[in-house]
Amino acid sequence: MKRFYLFLIVSVLFSTQLFSQKALPPQPVYPVPTKQQLQWHKMEMYAFIHFTTNTFTDKEWGYGDESTDIFNPTELDANQWAKTLKETGFKAIILTAKHHDGFTLWPSKYTAHSVKNSPYKNGKGDVVKETSEAAGKYGLKFGIYLSPWDRNHADYGTPAYITYYRNQLKELFINYGTVFEMWFDGANGGDGYYGGKRTSVKINGATYYDWPGTLELVRKMQPQVLFFSDAGPDIRWVGNEKGLAGITNWNTITPDTLYAGKPGINDLLNTGSINGSKWIPAEVDVSIRPGWFYHAKEDKKVKTPEQLFDIYLTSVGRGSNLLLNIPPDRRGLFHENDVASLKEFKKLLDERLSHNLALKAKVKASNTRGNNKLFSGKNITDNNKNTYWATDDNVVSASAEIELKKRFPINYVLLQEYIALGQRVKSFAVDVWQNNQWKEAATGTTIGYKRIIKIEPTVTNKIRVRILDAKASPLISNITVY
């Protein structure tokens, strides 16, 4: 009798799947994002602010010999920047604390080429402080750009300059609150003022800056910070300044294969690589105007709301984050044209991508991991990014049918992978139900954190997503339809 009970208990346990192999959560597919990188993915869109003496000289790259007297914004209001950005959907501000011309927007004690010697607030102003405080006030994160190339500094090219650069990082990371992202610019054009030498200084980009030492120093002050550069280590450049992430966009890449000047490097940065050894997602930096700095002659060339929306689709909609530059004008304000464009852009986002027609819709999946509810297809319409639909381990192609409440006109389909366990999907297709049969509306390669597909406008009550190939069991956390 005892043996019978034991047999019964064991059989029940096995049949509940609780103990069945298939019901266990999927193993990660490495590399996976760190906790900070995961939070970063969720930010999606934030702003760059390029502001320095260039704003007053009408240049893009200051030579380094500009007089500090020219820096004189008459109505600078960082609250106007932060308020506009908050209202238009941005999550953070990254400020050029120092651009290539070497002028510091904060009163650095290590240089005279600084806001402290400008007419702005009679030398008592601190644009870094004003910006970080305004960001905080509007619930935006704050990031810093500090140009490694410095055309003003006499020591540039010698070890003394590295000490100077690190001293400035100490000032910035100790006095201005939490920094979510540190932006290291790779540009170096050679010639400059260099303390009056007016010469060209070439450095060896691979060795001169001793980046490992600098990153360690910064991480000691603020361990949460994410470093952006052409090649990471936390966030990579996307390989162009046009607002285009790769149509295939892997968050993974092998840093050893990246070095400046390597043929095809920009293409590699654009797509990442399927078998990359590190999680280094791409960030799309692009300006709302032709230049990075404000020029009155570009007032009519501000990107239109439709252009910004397209950029949103080719950046956030391809699984990257968008870093959109909005340069303040000589008053120290976002120009009216830029503000108007941002506001209309936000309206387009709200009109086109905020009413999810698939919310709580019924889902029929071709395969569900261990037939377990935990991994069921309905996790993709439950509006919870922490749940996901998963297939059995050996199943890398599967489909999910989404039944809408009624027939709706649809234009966009948005897909998301549960990337905490790695990026997996290699190719997929989206079908719409029409005239009693499935019609393929789009195909794609990677999904990643987010993929937004614009389809030909269609009236339908059913959508089907087919995962065609994946590195391992696909984990889909969200599908929304607009």
How many chain residues interact with ligand FUL (CB under 6 A)? 5
Q: Which of 126/285 has CB closer to ligand FUL?
A: 285
Q: How far apart (Å, rounded) are the C-alpha atoms in residues 36 and 48?
A: 20
Per-residue x/- track, 59-78, ligand FUL (CB under 6 A): -x------------------
CB of 97 to ligand FUL, least distance (A): 12
Secondary structure (DSSP) of 455-466? EEEEEEEEEEEE
**Positions 11 through 70 that interact with ligand FUL (CB under 6 A):** 60
Residue 285 sits in the site that holds ligand FUL (CB under 6 A):
yes
Per-position x/- string for 136-175, each x denoting binding to ligand FUL as judged by CB under 6 A, each - no binding: ----------------------------------------
- Residues between 295 and 334 with contacts to ligand FUL, criterion CB under 6 A: none
* Residue 263 DSSP symbol: T
Question: Which residues, in sequence order, are bridge partners of residue 470?
Answer: 425
User: Which residue in the set 103, 292, 418, 449 belongs to the binding site for ligand FUL (CB under 6 A)?
Assistant: 292
- Give the whole-angstrom CA distance, residue 432 versus residue 277: 37
> Among residues 63 and 138, whose Cβ is nearest to ligand FUL?
63
Helix (H, G, I), strand (E, B) or coil at 345: helix
* Rounded alpha-carbon distances, angstroms, from residue 349 to 40, 243, 406: 20, 17, 23
CA 449 to chain centre: 10
Q: Which of 317, 346, 322 is nearest to 415 (CA)?
A: 317
State the minimum distance, in angstroms, from the CB of residue 241 to ligand FUL.
Answer: 7
Closest distance to ligand FUL from the beta carbon of 440 (Å): 39
Tell me how many degrees the CA angle 197-69-183 measures, rounded to the nearest 5: 70
Shortest reach from residue 327's CB to ligand FUL, in Å: 10
Task: Supply the minimum distance, in Å, between the C-beta of residue 104 and ligand FUL.
Answer: 15
**H-type helices in 88-199, by residue range?**
127-137, 159-175
Quote the tokens at residue 176.
């201005």
Choice between 150 and 185, CB closer to ligand FUL: 185
Q: Which is nearer to ligand FUL, 95 or 430 (CB)?
A: 95
Q: Least CB distance from residue 183 to ligand FUL, whole Å?
A: 8
The least distance separating ligand FUL from the CB of residue 238, rounded to whole angstroms, comes to: 12
Of 9, 112, 187, 340, the one binding ligand FUL by CB under 6 A: 187
SS (H, E, C) 117-146: HCCHHHHCCCHHHHHHHHHHHCCCEEEEEE
State which residue, 142 or 250, has the beta carbon closest to ligand FUL.
142
Beta bridge partners of residue 141, listed in sequence order: 92
State the virtual CA torsion across 288, 141, 210, 199 in degrees, nearest 10: 40
Cβ neighbors of 13 (< 8 A, separation 6 or more) are 19
How far apart are CB 185 and ligand FUL at their closest, in Å? 5
Q: What type of residue sits at position 433?
A: W
Q: Which is nearer to ligand FUL, 94 or 465 (CB)?
A: 94
Cβ–Cβ under 8 Å, residues 97 and 104: yes
Query: Residue 444 is encoded by which pair of tokens?
Result: 């794609």
Q: Which is nearer to ligand FUL, 145 or 345 (CB)?
A: 145
Residue pair 301/290 in contact by the 8 Å Cβ criterion: yes
- Smallest separation, CB 96 to ligand FUL (Å): 7
Instruction: Kindly tell me which of 146 and 425 has the beta carbon lying closer to ligand FUL.
Output: 146
How is the chain split among helix, strand and coil, in percent rounded to 5? 30, 25, 45
Backbone Cα Rg of the chain: 25
Q: Is the Cβ of residue 244 or residue 467 nearer to ligand FUL in the bound state?
A: 244
Q: How far is the CB of 141 from ligand FUL (least distance, A)?
A: 18
120 vs 292 by CB, closer to ligand FUL:
292
The minimum distance between CB 394 and ligand FUL, in angstroms, equals 45
**Looking at beta carbons only, is 187 or 206 nearer to ligand FUL?**
187
If DSSP codes are grouped into helix, strand and coil, which group holds residue 423? Answer: coil
First to last CA, the chain: 61
Among positions 101, 150, 171, 185, the unique one binding ligand FUL when judged by CB under 6 A: 185
Residue nearest to ligand FUL (CB): 187
Instruction: Write out the residues near ligand FUL by the rule CB under 6 A.
Output: 60, 185, 187, 285, 292
